[in-house]
Chains A and B, each alone.
Chain A
C-alpha cells in the first residue's frame, strides 16, 4: 500500500527512507486514483475543493510524477496513463495486464505488471515502452538501489525478489525468499546495503544482501538455481499475521501485521526490538514531527507508536505525506479523501469517486 514510489514527490513513503518532510508549496494539487470510478480525482491541497476528474482507464490504483507528468497505474489495462501539464491524456502500452507499482531510475519509469511476469520500462518523455523485463510471476512492489543501477521486484507467485539491471534492462538474478513465499513488500535501506522482503503467506520478513545477486549470466544462459541466490538471504523473522508492506528507515524495519493488529519493529539485522499492539488493521507507517504514525484500515485514526492519537473521518487505506506533518489519507471504503495534520487533526475531508487509492501530490 505504498504511495507508489512517487519519483518527484515529497516525503518517503512505505518503501522509502523515513522523515525528510518537505515544506508545503502553494497551489498544490492532490491527484487520487479512484479504483472504482476509473478516474484520477483532483483536489486543492489547501482547501480540499474538488478540481475535476481525469478519465484514466480501468482500475487506477497508484499515481506518481516523473518528468513533469503524472502517471497512473491502471491495473485493469495493459497500459499506464500519462497526464501532461497541459491536460493531454496519453496511454502508454505495457502489453501486459495489471500495471501496479511505479519506480524510477536513470530517468526512466518502471512499472510492475502484476497480472503477468514482467516489469515495463517506460520513457517518461517520449511516452513509449522502452522494454519489458521478465521477472517472477505477479510482480508487485518495486524498490531501487540508491545508485539506481538495480531495481528489485517482489514476486507474489514465485516467492522471489527479482533483481534487474536498469542499465541493461535485464534480469540478473533473484533472491529466493523461501518455499511457498508470497512476496509483497520490498524495500531497501537508504544506503542500499540491505534489502527486505515481506512474505505474506509465511508471515515473515526476510533480509537479503542486494549485492550478492547477479553474478551469473542472464536467465536462459543458466538455470534458475544458478541465478537464484539463496546465499543472499541474511536472515528472517516472524511478523504479525497477513503482513503486506514494510517500512525501512536508517535504523529500523517496521512490518505491520494486518490480521492481528500489530507492528513489529526490528533493528536492521532483524533483531526484534518491539511488538506494538492495539491496532485494528495497520497498513502503513510514516515518520513526521519525530514520531512514527500508523495508518489503520479499520480504525478512524492515526496512532503513533508511542500512543498519540489523531482522529480521522474514516479508516484510511493509503496515505501520502505532503510535508509539515500532514498526510493526504485515502478512505478507500468510504469514498472520501482527507488532509490530516498530526498536530491539528483533520484539516479537510472531501467526497471522492469510488475507492480512492494511492494519491500523489503534484
Chain B
C-alpha cells in the first residue's frame, strides 16, 4: 500500500499513463532509445538489459524491473544510494533512505541491537508507513540495499519488502533527477522484531555449538579478516583482537552478488547448503564487522528459502572489543572458508554497498 509520491522531479506529470504503458512494454519487449524531455531522463535502458535482471523461480524478496513496472503505483520506492547519486538520477518518485539512521544501534546489557525507534523514525521521515509495500533499489543489490530491507524487517514492517534486482541499471522506466521535494512524514511506530537479530549474549550462550549441532554461523567478511591474516590491510585497527567467532564459517558476502544482480539462485543454494553445509530449516546467524554487509547474506538466505536468518547487529567489532575475553573467545586457526567468486557491480563510489556502502 503506497501513497502518491509528492515530488515531481521537475516533470509536469502529463502523459504518465502513456509513458507507463510504453515502459511496461519495454520491460519485456524492445524499446529503442531514450526520448528525453526537460528534467526527465525517461527511457534510457534497452529492454534486453531489463530482461537480464528479471527474477525467475522460487526466490523471495528480489524482483526484476518488469515487476516494478507492473507495480510502480503500488509501492514506495526507497533509494539506498548516497545523496549525490540520488540527485543524478533515480527511479521517478523514489525517496532517499536516511542511511545512517537506519543503521542505528541501541546498546543494552546483552549487547547492541537495532534501535527500532530510531530506525522507524527514519523511515517515517521519508513518508514510509508500516503497511506500505516497499521496493528498495540502489546501484546494484549491494549491502546498502539489503540493510534497508533488514531495517524494515527489524522494526516489524507489515508491508511487503522487495529489492530491485539489477538496481537502477535495470530500470528502463521513468527517471527523476535533482534533490526532489520533501515528502510528507508518516507516523511510524516500531514493532520490533527480535527474531531478525541476535545479541552478543545470545551468542555467548551458544559458544561451542555453532555449525556443530547448534545454529549456523556465517562470517561474511573477506577471508583475510576472518583468518586474521598477519599484516593484512583489511584488519580493522579499531578491533582489539582479530579472527572470528568460534565455529563460524566464512562466506564472503560479495558471493551473493554478480555484477548488479543477485547471484544465480541455484549457485547460491549450492554455496550455502552444499559447500557451507547450512541447514535451511534451522537458525542461521550472520555477522560482519558492522551491521551492513551481513544483511546481504541475511536477505540472500531468506530469498532462497532459509527459514530463520538473523543478524548479529553488534558485529565482530563489539565481540572483539568485549571486556571479558574468556566469555567472548575468538578463533584464528583451523578455519573453514567457503570460496566465492562474486563481484559487486555499479559505480562503487555511489555508496551502494558497504565496502563502499
Contacts and interface: CB of A to CB of B under 8 A. Distances in A.
A299 interface: no
Interface stretch (A24-32, A131-139, A243-251): A131-139
Contact of A116 (B230, B327, B330): B330
Interface in B291-327: 323-327
B332 A117 contact: yes
Nearest to B247: A78
Given A95-B207, A95-B246, A96-B208, A116 B324 contact: no
Nearest to B206: A95
Contact of A97 (B246, B323, B327): B246
A79 interface: yes
A98 interface: yes
Contacts of B326: 118, 131-134, 169, 171
Contact of A137 (B212, B324, B327, B332): B332
B333 interface: yes
A115 B329 CA distance: 10
Nearest to A121: B326
B229 to A, nearest CB: 11
Contacts of A98: 331, 333-334
A113 interface: yes
B60 interface: no
B228 interface: yes
A151 B115 CA distance: 42
B241 interface: yes
A96 to B, nearest CB: 5
Chain A interface extent, by class: 20 to 34
Contacts of B351: none
Interface string A109-128: 00001111110000000000
Contacts, number: 78
B329 A116 contact: yes
A76 interface: yes
29 contacts: A75-B334, A78-B208, A78-B212, A78-B247, A94-B208, A96-B207, A96-B246, A96-B329, A97-B247, A97-B331, A98-B333, A113-B329, A114-B333, A115-B331, A117-B325, A117-B329, A118-B329, A132-B326, A132-B327, A132-B329, A133-B326, A134-B324, A137-B228, A137-B241, A137-B242, A137-B330, A171-B325, A220-B323, A220-B324
A117 B243 contact: yes
B325 A118 contact: yes
Contacts of B208: 78-79, 93-96
Given A78-B208, A79-B208, A133-B326, A115 B333 contact: yes
A220 B330 CA distance: 16
A157 interface: yes
Given A95-B246, A117-B325, 9 more contacts: A76-B334, A94-B208, A95-B207, A97-B247, A117-B330, A134-B328, A137-B241, A137-B330, A157-B230
Contacts of A252: none
Nearest to A115: B333
Contacts of B247: 78, 97
A113 B330 CA distance: 10
A58 B1 CA distance: 55
Contacts of B324: 134, 220
Nearest to B230: A157
Interface of B: 207-208, 212, 228, 230, 241-243, 246-247, 323-334
Contacts of A113: 329
A167 to B, nearest CB: 15
Interface string A45-83: 000000000000000000000000000000110110000
A138 B242 CA distance: 12
Nearest to B325: A134
A76 B325 CA distance: 22
A291 interface: no
B325 A97 contact: no
Interface string A137-160: 110000000000000000001000
Contact of A138 (B207, B323, B332): B332
A75 B331 CA distance: 13
A219 B330 CA distance: 16
Given A94-B208, A117-B241, A219 B325 contact: yes
B63 to A, nearest CB: 41
Interface in A93-108: 93-98
B325 A137 contact: no
A75 B334 CA distance: 9
A157 B208 CA distance: 22
Nearest to B327: A132
B329 A95 contact: yes
A300 to B, nearest CB: 31
A116 B331 contact: yes
Nearest to A137: B332
Contacts of A138: 332-333
Contacts of B332: 115-117, 137-138, 157
A153 to B, nearest CB: 12
Contacts of A220: 323-324
B94 to A, nearest CB: 46
Nearest to B244: A116
B330 A97 contact: no
Contacts of B331: 96-98, 115-117
A132 B230 CA distance: 25
The 3 closest A-B pairs by CB, nearest first: A134-B325, A95-B208, A132-B326
